[in-house]
């Protein structure tokens, strides 16, 4: 394997003019914690998504907020969270950190969300419990949200979506009551580090806004009725440090929001760039040797490579020899991972198992060109 990486998983999208704008702001300002720039980026995302958007320190913090919000709204209750067998560890551990139980469900090989038939069996088995359906928009593929809403309604379950690798699929950010996404360096809109929750309900947004900032009532505007009520009910407490909730610090910084504002300008261009290169990739890849992952309402996060035979090791080795960096399909089959071995036998999740043994991906970002993609496909097809 070579260390001479010519095509990394992620690369900065920021131009010299972006850097000049950020540097000028840094040199002429003196407050860089969460403030006006964060509010400005939140306003842009709210309009973009038609939701109440709230920025967090990371996509993982945004995921944590989903479960903390559920606990605030359901005091003294506990939920079972149904999670996919292939996703990020940081999609699952927030539920565990919130004191909830989890049960793994296999994924499907169409939209890479749940195996919907297996999901319904889990919901039926646990129908007397409080249940949360927690799908992932894995590597930019959008789950069948209509089907998931139908299952949630049938079993009186809550439905939230981890879309941390998907910001661009049509209507995905408003597809259920709370949706998360990430603005990490390699993601579809980047603030270098950061994440967002998108709330359909203003009440949820207000709870999250306080929780994100230690639970303080002053996180809301002075004229907000909720803040006024909280402060009037607690006259003996200094309103500058009135903790309405047992929150914590999930705040982003204005520095990261400033980076996000630069990249937000390129949303249309970035989306088209990803779509065009992915179309080149899937249209030229040999379907005899490779499973071609194409699905409606998909927004390309990366170039997933699914080898049909047992040559995945050779795929990774030859790409590495050409300086092309690869990674497994996120956690692949998470039931192999040390924190999750106790939750089941990985062989009982055949689609996650197939991905574990047949899949990897390489990066799709602003520095990738059509020529690079064509060379990638040629390498793969000649293997």
Tokens matching residue 60 = 């993982």
- Is residue 10 pLDDT above 80, yes or no? yes
What pLDDT is recorded for position 294? 75
9: in domain: no
pLDDT tens-digit map of 144-175: 999 999 999 999 999 999 999 999 999 999 99
- Is residue 249 pLDDT above 70, yes or no? yes
- Do residues 258 and 353 share a domain? no
Q: What does the alpha-carbon distance between residue 357 and residue 353 come to, in Å, rounded to a whole number?
A: 6
- Do residues 161 and 182 share a domain? yes
- Do residues 187 and 331 share a domain? no
- Is residue 1 pLDDT above 90, yes or no? no
Choose between 179 and 1: higher pLDDT: 179
Tokens matching residue 36 = 């006006």
| CB burial readout 23-50, b (16+ within 10 A) else e | eeeeeeeeeeebeebbebbbebbbeebe
19: in domain: no
Q: Give the pLDDT band of residue 233 (cuts 50, 70, 90).
A: very high
State the residue for tokens 């920021």: 14
pTM: 0.96
* C-alpha torsion 162→167→170→174, nearest 10: 50
Total number of domains in the chain: 2
What pLDDT is recorded for position 47? 98
Q: What does the alpha-carbon distance between residue 206 and residue 52 come to, in Å, rounded to a whole number?
A: 9
What pLDDT is recorded for position 173? 98
* C-alpha torsion 271→162→319→346, nearest 10: -160
* DSSP H helical ranges for the chain: 16-28, 36-49, 59-73, 89-97, 116-125, 145-154, 202-212, 225-232, 254-264, 267-284, 312-321, 350-358, 370-381
CA atoms lying within 13 Å on the CB side of residue 55: 33
Q: Give the pLDDT band of residue 136 (cuts 50, 70, 90).
A: very high
8: in domain: no
Average pLDDT over residues 16-23: 97
- Do residues 172 and 205 share a domain? yes
- Do residues 198 and 235 share a domain? yes
Tokens matching residue 96 = 């565990």
Within 10 A of 78 (CB to CB), how many other CB atoms are there?
A: 12
pLDDT tens-digit map of 187-226: 999 999 999 999 999 999 999 999 999 999 999 999 999 9
- Is residue 2 pLDDT above 60, yes or no? no
- Do residues 255 and 138 share a domain? yes
- Do residues 248 and 318 share a domain? no
Positive or negative CA dihedral for 194, 197, 198, 202? negative
Give Cβ neighbours of residue 222 (< 8 Å, ≥ 6 apart): none
Q: What does the alpha-carbon distance between residue 301 and residue 288 come to, in Å, rounded to a whole number?
A: 24
- Here the CATH number for the domain that contains residue 212 is 3.40.640.10
Q: What does the alpha-carbon distance between residue 197 and residue 162 come to, in Å, rounded to a whole number?
A: 9
84: in domain: yes
- Do residues 305 and 156 share a domain? no
Query: Where does a domain end: 264, 293, 313?
Result: 264
24: in domain: no
Structural domain boundaries enclosing 278: 267-381
Tell me what the pLDDT averaged over the chain comes to: 96
pLDDT tens-digit map of 80-89: 999 999 999 9
Tokens matching residue 226 = 């909720």
Query: Where does a domain end: 264, 289, 308?
Result: 264
- Here the CATH number for the domain that contains residue 297 is 3.90.1150.10
Under 8 Å between Cβ of 88 and 337: no
229: in domain: yes
Q: In a 10 Å sphere around its CB, with 0-12 CB exposed, 13-18 middle and 19+ buried, how is residue 106 labelled?
A: buried
Q: What does the alpha-carbon distance between residue 378 and residue 296 come to, in Å, rounded to a whole number?
A: 26
Average pLDDT over residues 98-105: 98
- Do residues 241 and 311 share a domain? no
- Do residues 121 and 246 share a domain? yes
- Do residues 84 and 230 share a domain? yes
Q: What does the alpha-carbon distance between residue 119 and residue 133 come to, in Å, rounded to a whole number?
A: 9
Query: Where does a domain end: 213, 245, 264?
Result: 264
What pLDDT is recorded for position 3? 61
- Is residue 132 pLDDT above 50, yes or no? yes
What pLDDT is recorded for position 4? 85
Under 8 Å between Cβ of 367 and 353: no
Torsions phi, psi for 338 (to 5 deg): -50, -40
Q: In a 10 Å sphere around its CB, with 0-12 CB exposed, 13-18 middle and 19+ buried, how is residue 181 labelled?
A: buried
Taking each helix axis as running N to C, give the angle between helix 36-49 and helix 254-264, from 0 to 180 degrees, rounded to the nearest 10: 40
pLDDT tens-digit map of 272-330: 999 999 999 999 999 999 999 877 889 999 999 999 999 999 999 999 999 999 999 99
What pLDDT is recorded for position 167? 96
Q: What does the alpha-carbon distance between residue 135 and residue 129 come to, in Å, rounded to a whole number?
A: 18
DSSP 8-class letter at 243: B
- Do residues 132 and 232 share a domain? yes
311: in domain: yes
Taking each helix axis as running N to C, give the angle between helix 370-381 and helix 267-284, from 0 to 180 degrees, rounded to the nearest 10: 20
235: in domain: yes
pLDDT tens-digit map of 65-74: 999 999 999 9
DSSP 8-class letter at 107: B
């Amino acid at each position: 394997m070579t260390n001479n990486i010519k095509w990394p998983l992620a690369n900065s999208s920021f131009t010299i003019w972006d850097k000049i704008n950020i540097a000028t702001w840094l040199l002429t300002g003196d407050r860089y914690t969460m403030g006006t720039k964060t509010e400005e980026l939140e306003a842009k995302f709210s309009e973009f998504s038609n939701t109440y958007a709230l920025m967090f320190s990371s996509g993982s913090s945004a995921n944590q907020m989903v479960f903390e919000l559920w606990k605030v709204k359901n005091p003294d209750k506990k939920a079972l969270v149904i999670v996919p067998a292939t996703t990020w560890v940081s999609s699952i551990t927030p539920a565990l950190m919130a004191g909830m139980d989890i049960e793994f469900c296999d994924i499907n090989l169409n939209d890479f969300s749940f195996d919907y038939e297996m999901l319904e069996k889990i919901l039926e088995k646990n129908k007397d419990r409080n249940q949360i359906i927690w799908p992932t928009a894995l590597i930019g593929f959008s789950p069948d949200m209509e089907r998931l809403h139908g299952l949630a309604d049938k079993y009186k379950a809550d439905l939230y979506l981890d879309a941390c690798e998907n910001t661009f699929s049509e209507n995905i950010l408003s597809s259920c009551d709370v949706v998360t996404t990430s603005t990490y360096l390699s993601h579809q809109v980047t603030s270098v580090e950061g994440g967002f929750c998108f709330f359909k309900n203003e009440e949820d947004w207000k709870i999250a806004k306080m929780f994100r900032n230690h639970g303080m009532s002053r996180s809301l505007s002075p004229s907000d009725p909720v803040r006024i009520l909280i402060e009037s009910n607690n006259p003996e407490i200094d309103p500058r440090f009135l903790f309405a909730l047992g929150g914590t610090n999930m705040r982003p910084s204005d520095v990261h929001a400033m980076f996000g504002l630069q990249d937000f300008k390129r949303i249309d261009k970035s989306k088209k760039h990803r779509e065009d290169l992915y179309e080149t990739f899937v249209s030229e890849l040999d379907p005899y040797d490779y499973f071609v992952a194409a699905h409606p309402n998909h927004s390309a996060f990366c170039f997933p490579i699914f080898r049909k035979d047992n040559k995945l090791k050779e795929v990774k080795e030859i790409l590495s020899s050409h300086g092309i960096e690869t990674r497994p399909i996120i956690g692949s089959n998470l039931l192999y991972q040390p924190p999750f071995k106790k939750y089941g036998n990985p062989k009982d999740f055949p689609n996650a198992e197939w991905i574990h043994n047949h899949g990897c991906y390489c990066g799709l970002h602003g520095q990738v060109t059509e020529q690079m993609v064509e060379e990638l496909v040629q390498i793969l097809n000649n293997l």
